[in-house]
Structure 1
Amino acid sequence: MTADLAEHAHHLLRAMVTDRFGDFSPSVYETARVVALLPDLAGHADRIAFLLDQQAADGGWGGPDGYGLLPTLSATEALLTEFRRTGAPSIAAAAEHGLQALTTRWGRDLRVALPDTVAVEILVPSLVSALNGHLDALEAEEIVPARSRLPHPEGTHPALLHGMRRLVEDGQALPDKVLHSLEALGPAARGVAFARPGDDGLGCSPAATAAWFGTDGARAHPGVRYLENVQARHGGAVPVAAPLTVFERSWVVSTFADAGLAVDVPGEVLDELAAEIGPHGAPGGAGLPPDADDTATVLYALATQGRPHPLDCLREYHVDGHFCTYPEERTPSVTTNAHVLQALCAHGQSEVAGRVAAWIAAQQHPDGSWTDKWHASPYYATARCFLALAGSGHGAAARARALRWIARTQNPDGSWGRWQGTFEETAYAVQVLVRAGEPWADEAAARGCAFLLSWADAAHPPLWHDKDLYTPGRIVRAEGIAALHLAAARPRVAALLTRLEPAPAERTG
C-alpha cells in the first residue's frame, strides 16, 4: 500500500504543474450568476442544463441547513431572468419550484441561521432584492399572480450593500477584497473603473468577472477568454473561485510533508509558491488579496522542502494574541491560526508559537471539537488544530479532549461526518487518531482506513466555504493519502487494517 500511496501522491503533484485553475467542484451559486449576467457567453445552454439537473426534489439547491439559501436564491433568480428572456415554460416551472422551496425550507420570513460563508451578508440581500424585482415586473405584466415578497433574512446587511453601491455609483473605489463578490453590487458593478478583468478574470471569480461585463461581453477581451476557459472542466458550469493554484499547491505540499510522506515536489510548484510571497504575504489565487491563512501555509510548505522564507510578511496579521486572516475581519479563524502555528514552529519562533497555541486551545468547544469559518465540518477544524498543537508540543489537554470527541463520534461503518460519513472527514479523523499514538485509538483508526479504501464515489461532497460550498478535489485526495500513509507507518493499525481491508476486487474507489 505504501508504494501505491507514494505513486498517487507523485501523480497528484505532477498534475498541479500544468493546471492553470486548480481542481475545484462546480458551483450552483456561481454558475447561476454567469447565466443571469452573461447569456451570450459560450456554454449558456449547458449552464442552464446544469442548474436544472442540480435542482433537488423540493425545488431548492445547495447543502443542508442554511447552506442551501444562497444557491437557491441564485439559481431561482437566474431562471427567472432566463424566463423573462425566453418565455420557456420549462424554465418558468423550475423557477416557480425554486420560489416554493425558499418558503418550504425556511418559511415565508426566511428564518435561517446563515453560515459564515464569504460575503453572505451582502450576497443574500442582493439576490432577495433581485428576486423581488422580478416578481414586481411579472405581476405588473400579469404573468404571475400576486404573492408576498421575500424579506431580508436576519444577519444580512442590505443597508451596507446599498452604501457600497452608492459609493461605486459616485466613482469611489472599494477595497480589493470586495472584488471577489463584485456581483453583489448589481448593475453598479458593470465596468467599474477601479478594476478590470485580465487573463485570470476579476477577483478570482467567474461571477465577479461576468458582473463587470454586464450583458455585453466583448469577445476579444481577455476576461471573456477566462470565462470560456474556466468552464471547460465542468462542461459549462463554473467553480466558485478560480484560479486557486496557490491555495491548492500549498495545501497539498503541506499535507504530505506533515504526514511524513517523502515526495519529490516539482521545482515549478515551489518556485511559483515562493514567487507569490509579497510584502503582505501570499493570496490564495490571482485576483485575491493576500491573507494570513494562505501565507502561513505557503511559508510552511516551503520550509518543509528546504526553502525557508522570512516570516516578516505575517506580522501585520498579528492581533491580540492571535492572527487575523484579513485585516478587520468579522470573525477570527482557528484554522488560520493553526497554519500560522505550523509556520512559526517550522521557523523556530517558539515564543509567539506558544501564545498562538494557547489562543487555539482557548477556542475549543466543551465537547472537544473546533469549528471554523472556512469549512462546514468540525472534523476539518479539529484536525487542523490538533495536528498543529501536536507539532508544537502545546495543548496536551486540548488534544486529549479532541481525541476523545473524535473517538466517540465515529459512525458504525467506520466513517466520520457532520451530516453523513465522507471520505474527506474520515481522513481528518484518521490522521488525528494515528498521530495521537494511543493504543486504544488504533482499532478506530483501522476501521476508518477501511472506509477510506472502500470509498466508491469519485466525487466528494462539498464542505469548504467560499460564497457557496465547494470541494477542492486534489486537496481532499491528498488528505486521504496522508491518512493512509500515517496508518501504514503505525504497525498495529496496519495489522488491524489487514484484517479489515476489502479484497482488491471489492475496491472501486
Structure 2
Amino acid sequence: MTASMTTTSTVAASAVVDAAGDLIAQLEREPHGQVSASVYETGRLVADAPWLTGHGRRLAYLLRQQGVDGTWGAADGYALVPTASAVEALLAALVRADPAEPGGPTRADLAVAGRRGLVALARLLDAAPSMPDTPAADLIVPALAARIDAHLDRMHHANDPSVTGAPRALPRVDRRRLDAVGALLVTDRPVPDKLWHAYEVLGPAAAGRSEIGPVAGAVGASPAATAAWLTHRPSVEQSARAYLDDVVARHGGPVPCCTPITVFERSWTLATLTRVGLPVRPSARLVTELAAALGSPGAATGPGLPADADTTAATLYALARLGRPVDPASLDHYDLGSHFCTWQGEDGHSVTTNAHVLEALGWHARHTGDGAARYAARVAALAGWLSDRQQRDGHWADRWHASPYYATCCVVLALAGYAPPGTARDRLDRAVDWVLATQRADGGWGRWSSTAEETAYAVHILLGTSQRSRPEVPSAVRRALTHLPVDAIEHPPLWHDKDLYAPLLIVRAAVLAARRLALRSAEAPSDGVSAGDGPSRAGS
C-alpha cells in the first residue's frame, strides 16, 4: 500500500470514528430518540386531535406522502394500514369541514386525495392481501374500515360532491379479532399491556378500563393512543397534553408511531458500534441511565409499553460491552424452554429477539465467573433453535423488520460470536452464499431497491464471520462502499411498528459500523475484526 493510499484510508477511518462520536453525542443530546414520521400515526392525529397545534401541517404531510397509485406506504401489503389511516383522516376532515389554514391544503385538495385513496384502498382490500406481521394490523384495518364506511354513508346521503365517483362502501374485512378484543374490554378480565399501544382503534369500551393511563405523559408510547385516550376524558389530563405538544413541536407536525425510544435507541446503537471496535465513549450518566432501565422484568422500548426480551437483551449486551455487565436473570421471564418470547403471550416468535438473547447470554457465559455453568447449555440450545429457523436459500426473516437482511444479520452475528465451535459453520456458509447471490448490479442490497441500511447488514454478514477469506467477498464489499456514506442521510422506513418506520440513529450506527468493517477489510483482510468476542471488543 502506497503512502497516499495509507493517508486516504486513515482519513476515511477517522471520519467514521468522528461520525460515531457525533452519534453518541446525539444519544445524549436528544434522549427522546430520532424516529421517522408515520403516515398511520399522523393520520390518527388528524382524525382524533384536530385541535392540536400543527393540524394543517399534518394534512399537508398526508397529501405529500400519497403515491401515484393513490396509496400510502410500501409494497407487498405494507400500504394497507397507512392507506386506511390516511383515507379515514381525510374523510374525517371533510366531514368536519375543517377550515383551511393559510398556505395549507384546501377542501378541494383533500377531496381529490381522499377519492384517489378510497379507490386505491378498495382495490387493496379486494385483492385480499396477506397483511405483513405489523403490530395490531388485524385490529387497525377493520376498525378504520368501519369508520370510513360511516363517513361514506353520511357523505353520500348528504350528496357531498367530495365523494362523487368514490365507492359507497369498502369491501368486507375480517373483524373477528377486533370483535374478540372488544368483548374482552367489557369484562373484568386482564387485557394484555401491549394492546394499549393501539388504544386509538379499541373503541369506547377501552375508556372503561381503569388500568390504562399515561406513563411519562404517553399512553402506550404512542401519540395516536394518547390523543384517543384524551378524547375519552371529561377534562384534559395535563401530562398527556404536554406529551402531545412536545412530540408535535419536536417533529414539526407529523409524528412517529412510537416515542420516546430512549432505551431502544441507546442499546441498539451502542451494541452496534462497540461490536466492531469503534472507540465510543458515552458519558457515565448515559450508561447509568441505561442500566437503571433494567427492572426485574427487563427493559421496555418506551414508557407505557411492557418490558420485552428484545430490548432487555440488547441493553444487557450493550452494557456488557461497555464494561458495565448486569446479571441477565431478567431474561428468565421470557424463557419458553425451546426459545424466548418477545413478551408473554406472544403470537408466533421472533428470530431477532432470540439472536439478541443469544448474544446477551453468550457474553455472560464466556466472561463471568459462573456464566459458563449457568448459561452454556442454554446458549447451545438457543443457537440450535436459531439455526433451524434458516430458510432454504440461506436467509432468515423476522416479524420486526421488512428486510430479510436485518434478520439474517442479527442471527449470523449471534451464531458467529456465540454458537458452540463448529456447530453453525454450514449455516454461516449458506447465509454468505445468499448475500453474495443477491447483491444488486449497483453494488448494494435491498428488498425493493438498494438501501444504505440493508447494504450495511449485508456487509456485516460478509465480514462478521469466518467467511471473509472467500475470494468473492472483497470485491463485493468494495462495490458496496458507495452505499455506506459517512454522512447522515434519509433512510426509507423498514422497521415494523403500526406502519413502517426508521429509527434513524440505529440505522446510521449500522451503516457506520459496516463502513468501519469494510475499510479495515480493505487495509488488511485478515485483521481479525469479527462478530462476538474478537480482538476489537470493548469492555470485556
Scaled by the length of structure 1, what TM-score is found?
0.91
Would the aligned equivalents of 1:35 and 1:44 in 2 still touch at CA under 8 Å? yes
Deviation of 1:169 (Å): 4.4
Q: Report the AA paired with residue 89 of structure 1.
A: A
Deviations 1:132-164 (A, max 9, x none): 1112222232335684522344xx5x2332232
Corresponding residue SS for 1:330: coil
Q: 1:103 to 1:255 in 2, by over 3 A?
A: same
Counterparts of 1:457 and 1:305 in 2: how far apart (Å)? 25
- Aligned partner of 1:485 in structure 2 is 516
The correspondence for 1:149, drawn from 169, 172, 181, is 169
Moved more, 165-174 or 39-48: 165-174
2:464 is the alignment partner of 1:432: no
The correspondence for 1:448, drawn from 480, 484, 502, is 480
The correspondence for 1:363, drawn from 389, 401, 409, is 389
Counterparts of 2:127 and 2:145 in 1: how far apart (Å)? 10
Identity percentage of aligned residues: 43
Deviation of 1:218 (Å): 5.5
Indicate the RMSD between aligned Cα atoms, in angstroms.
2.1
Would the aligned equivalents of 1:25 and 1:472 in 2 still touch at CA under 8 Å? yes
- Aligned partner of 1:73 in structure 2 is 84
Moved more, 435-444 or 36-45: 435-444
Deviation of 1:110 (Å): 4.2
2:80 is the alignment partner of 1:60: no
Counterparts of 1:303 and 1:428 in 2: how far apart (Å)? 22
- Aligned partner of 1:501 in structure 2 is none
2:97 is the alignment partner of 1:86: yes
The correspondence for 2:116, drawn from 94, 97, 108, is 97
Structure 2 unmatched runs, 5+: 1-11, 99-106, 366-374, 527-540
Deviations 1:164-215 (A, max 9, x none): 2344345765221111111111333447432222534110000100110128
Would the aligned equivalents of 2:276 and 2:516 in 1 still touch at CA under 8 Å? yes
Counterparts of 2:97 and 2:284 in 1: how far apart (Å)? 51
Deviations 1:67-105 (A, max 9, x none): 00000000000000000011723222211111011134x
Counterparts of 2:241 and 2:209 in 1: how far apart (Å)? 16
Counterparts of 1:152 and 1:401 in 2: how far apart (Å)? 43
Q: 1:135 to 1:199 in 2, by over 3 A?
A: same
Q: 1:320 to 1:358 in 2, by over 3 A?
A: same
- Aligned partner of 2:5 in structure 1 is none
Deviation of 1:42 (Å): 0.9
- Aligned partner of 1:135 in structure 2 is 152
2:274 is the alignment partner of 1:245: no
Deviation of 1:13 (Å): 0.7
- Aligned partner of 1:472 in structure 2 is 503
Corresponding residue SS for 1:164: helix
Would the aligned equivalents of 2:309 and 2:341 in 1 still touch at CA under 8 Å? yes
Counterparts of 2:234 and 2:97 in 1: how far apart (Å)? 19
Counterparts of 1:298 and 1:248 in 2: how far apart (Å)? 10
Q: 1:445 to 1:274 in 2, by over 3 A?
A: same
Counterparts of 1:352 and 1:494 in 2: how far apart (Å)? 33
The correspondence for 1:377, drawn from 403, 407, 421, is 403
Counterparts of 1:266 and 1:283 in 2: how far apart (Å)? 21
The correspondence for 1:294, drawn from 288, 295, 311, is 311
Deviations 1:266-296 (A, max 9, x none): 2222111111111111111111100110000
Deviation of 1:129 (Å): 1.1
Counting only pairs closer than 5 Å after superposition, residues 15-54 of structure 1 correspond to structure 2 as: 15-54=26-65
- Aligned partner of 1:406 in structure 2 is 435
Q: 1:207 to 1:191 in 2, by over 3 A?
A: farther
Q: Report the AA paired with residue 121 of structure 2.
A: L
Q: 1:42 to 1:197 in 2, by over 3 A?
A: same
- Aligned partner of 1:504 in structure 2 is none
Q: Report the AA paired with residue 331 of structure 1.
A: G
Counterparts of 1:223 and 1:341 in 2: how far apart (Å)? 37
Would the aligned equivalents of 2:484 and 2:512 in 1 still touch at CA under 8 Å? no
- Aligned partner of 1:500 in structure 2 is none
Corresponding residue SS for 2:251: coil
Counterparts of 2:335 and 2:205 in 1: how far apart (Å)? 35
The correspondence for 2:345, drawn from 319, 328, 338, is 328
Q: Report the AA paired with residue 450 of structure 2.
A: G
Q: 1:190 to 1:93 in 2, by over 3 A?
A: farther
Corresponding residue SS for 1:347: helix
Deviation of 1:11 (Å): 0.9
2:240 is the alignment partner of 1:229: no
Deviation of 1:318 (Å): 1.1
Corresponding residue SS for 1:323: coil
Q: Report the AA paired with residue 466 of structure 1.
A: D
Moved more, 19-28 or 391-400: 391-400
Q: Report the AA paired with residue 296 of structure 1.
A: A
Q: 1:342 to 1:223 in 2, by over 3 A?
A: same
Structure 1 unmatched runs, 5+: 496-509
Counterparts of 2:488 and 2:14 in 1: how far apart (Å)? 23
The correspondence for 1:6, drawn from 5, 17, 20, is 17
Aligned length: 489
Deviation of 1:22 (Å): 0.4
Counting only pairs closer than 5 Å after superposition, residues 348-359 of structure 1 correspond to structure 2 as: 348=365, 349-359=375-385
Q: 1:2 to 1:329 in 2, by over 3 A?
A: same
Would the aligned equivalents of 2:474 and 2:522 in 1 still touch at CA under 8 Å? no
Q: Report the AA paired with residue 77 of structure 2.
A: G
Counterparts of 1:345 and 1:220 in 2: how far apart (Å)? 45
Scaled by the length of structure 2, what TM-score is found?
0.86
Corresponding residue SS for 1:232: helix
Would the aligned equivalents of 1:197 and 1:222 in 2 still touch at CA under 8 Å? yes
Would the aligned equivalents of 1:203 and 1:288 in 2 still touch at CA under 8 Å? yes
Corresponding residue SS for 1:241: coil
The correspondence for 2:360, drawn from 325, 328, 343, is 343
Would the aligned equivalents of 1:54 and 1:61 in 2 still touch at CA under 8 Å? yes
Q: 1:216 to 1:50 in 2, by over 3 A?
A: farther
- Aligned partner of 1:417 in structure 2 is 446
- Aligned partner of 1:506 in structure 2 is none
Q: 1:361 to 1:220 in 2, by over 3 A?
A: closer
Q: Report the AA paired with residue 478 of structure 2.
A: A
- Aligned partner of 2:328 in structure 1 is 311
Counterparts of 1:208 and 1:219 in 2: how far apart (Å)? 15
Q: Report the AA paired with residue 437 of structure 2.
A: R
Counterparts of 2:515 and 2:31 in 1: how far apart (Å)? 28
Q: Report the AA paired with residue 23 of structure 1.
A: Q
Counterparts of 1:101 and 1:405 in 2: how far apart (Å)? 35
Q: Report the AA paired with residue 171 of structure 2.
A: P
